Structure 1
Amino acid sequence: MSKKRPKITILLIVINIVMYLLMTVAGGSTNPNILIEFGAKDNALIAAGQIWRLFTPMFLHIGFQHIVLNMVTLYFLGMQIEYLFGPWRFLVIYLVSGICGNIASFAFTPAISAGASTALFGLFGAYLMLGESFRDDPYIRTIAKQFLVLVVLNLLSDLTGSIDLWGHLGGLIGGFLLGYVMGAPQIGKVEMHKRWLALAGLVLLFAMIFVRGMHTATA
């Protein structure tokens, strides 16, 4: 692992913490009105034109435990992904995966939601892509297998709780496809046909999911 400071990962953590503190001062991060005011995912408002709510929820958290768990995960996972993909590819994967997760949540989950986990599952997905593309690398293969187990366990736990399963799945799939689209030149070459297929799949899949969400929210 590189000794370079994971600057983008740290910047994202700082932004999340600042937003949490602002929400706390404004009236509490568990207050539904504060969540809506700061940009949490609300299906009716998205359908009414507030599309930016597919972006802002990944920087909001509901309670202290929520932000601590997500920021610890972001630090350790982000540090690895930022090194393997490079800072700017990492940032694109993180942000677009978060949007993909929020689109899936918009389409399939009626509840108000917020949290970085849509983007974090995107980072898991990107690492699973590395495990598929660079399976001959023993380190990547081992870590990818460990992450796969962790992802499965998390998704199973989502089924028994009030966690946004669809947001996690959307982020995971988005990150997996984005891994191909962005490539990882520091590790090796991803075949061009895979990159184009992944881009087409990403755009078509989440466009269809978004249309479904708009139809459901306005029905």
Structure 2
Amino acid sequence: MHSQYSRLSQETPPVRLWTNVILAANVIAFMAHIVIGTENRLILWGAKVNNLIAKGQIWRLLTPAFLHVNLIHLLLNCYSVHSLGPHLESLGGSKRFLVVFAVAAVTTSCLSFLMCKSPAVGASGAICGLIGALAVYSFRHRKLLNKAQENLGRISRTVAFNMVLGLMSHEVDNWGHLGGFVGGAFVSWLIGPALRAVCKGTKVVLEDHPPAIQLWRCWLRWLPRLSLRRPSNNNQY
């Protein structure tokens, strides 16, 4: 069963739907704000600025993931999205990949908003979320993947290395990276994939049972009971 699943994963062609969209959005946004060249352009285009978010500009929790300070910043983050995106899209599907990226981008800005006063831009927090999602996938399917322990070790070293680099530089928003990693890991645990080996006759097949579906079914099961227990508001005279 282990070898069959590993071979299945290796033969799955890479999917690049939302990976390409995210890459294109980052490049277009960078070119646009460079060409327009207004003063404080990153702030105008949607950088994470705490006092503006506090005034109600909540879109700034997402837009920083598509803005970059310079060309090197853009190229490094695009390379990371290019490396991780197709693999994660192949494992969980394009829709789940998009949800992980978006949630990680928002949780990046949320924790940065709470813990860091400086303005911030960049997709690195969302990329940390993709790393968190890959870590959850590898840990969850460690009994089905031949190289799960190797993948987890590589991910741990990557996270540790980036955290050390972040601590050595005052320009890196480590709180944002942590928020992205936790957000990506949590939403990946919630929406899956969560594969289980199930025997059907003479075959062993993999079925997807993400916790989100199970929680939704539990809610639907308990909702009628909660309605019956609710006290009536009708007054009797």
- Per-residue deviation, residues 152-181 of structure 1 (Å, max 9, x unmatched): 110111011020000000000011111111
| Map of 1:179 onto structure 2 | 188
Aligned length: 193
- In the alignment, which residue of structure 2 is the partner of 1:36? 43
- In structure 1, the partner of 2:35 is 25
Q: Which amino acid aligns with 2:211?
A: M
- Indicate whether 1:149 and 2:151 are aligned: no
After superposition, the Cα gap between the structure-2 partners of 1:22 and 1:135, relative to the gap in structure 1 and judged at 3 Å, is same
Equivalent-residue separation in structure 1 for 2:208 and 2:179 (angstroms):
26
Q: Is the 8 A contact 2:50 2:117 kept in 1?
A: yes
Task: Find the aligned partners of 1:121 and 1:75 in 2 and give their Cα distance.
Answer: 14
Cα offsets for 1:121-151 (capped at 9, x unmatched)? 0000001111221112123432232122101
1:124 aligns with 2:104: no
For 1:168, the aligned partner's letter is H
Distance 1:77 1:97 in 2: 14
Q: Which amino acid aligns with 1:17?
A: V
- For 2:92 and 2:210, locate their aligned partners in 1 and report how far apart those are by CA, in whole Å: 16
**Cross-structure match for 1:112:** 119
Residue 211 of structure 2 aligns with which residue?
Answer: 192
Match of 1:165 among 160, 171, 174: 174
**2:102 maps to which of 92, 95, 108:** 95
AA of the residue aligned to 2:18:
I
Q: Which amino acid counterpart does residue 169 of structure 1 have in structure 2?
A: L
Task: Tell whether the 8 Å contact from 2:15 to 2:89 is kept in structure 1 after alignment.
Answer: no
Q: Distance in 1 between the 2:150 and 2:185 partners? A: 17
% identical aligned pairs: 32
Q: What's the TM-score once normalised by structure 2's chain length?
A: 0.76
- Whose radius of gyration is greater, 1 or 2? 2
Aligned partner of 1:215 in structure 2 is: none
| RMSD, aligned CA | 2.0
**Matched position secondary structure for 2:147:** helix
Contact kept, 8 Å, 1:130 with 1:144, in 2: the verdict is no
Amino acid aligned to 1:164: D
Higher strand proportion (structure 1 or 2): 2
Residue pair 1:8, 1:87 contacting (<8 A) in 2 also? yes
Query: How much does 1:59 deviate?
Result: 0.5
Normalising by structure 1, we get a TM-score of 0.82
Counterpart in the other structure of 1:81 = 88
Distance in 2, Cα, partners of 1:132 & 1:139: 11
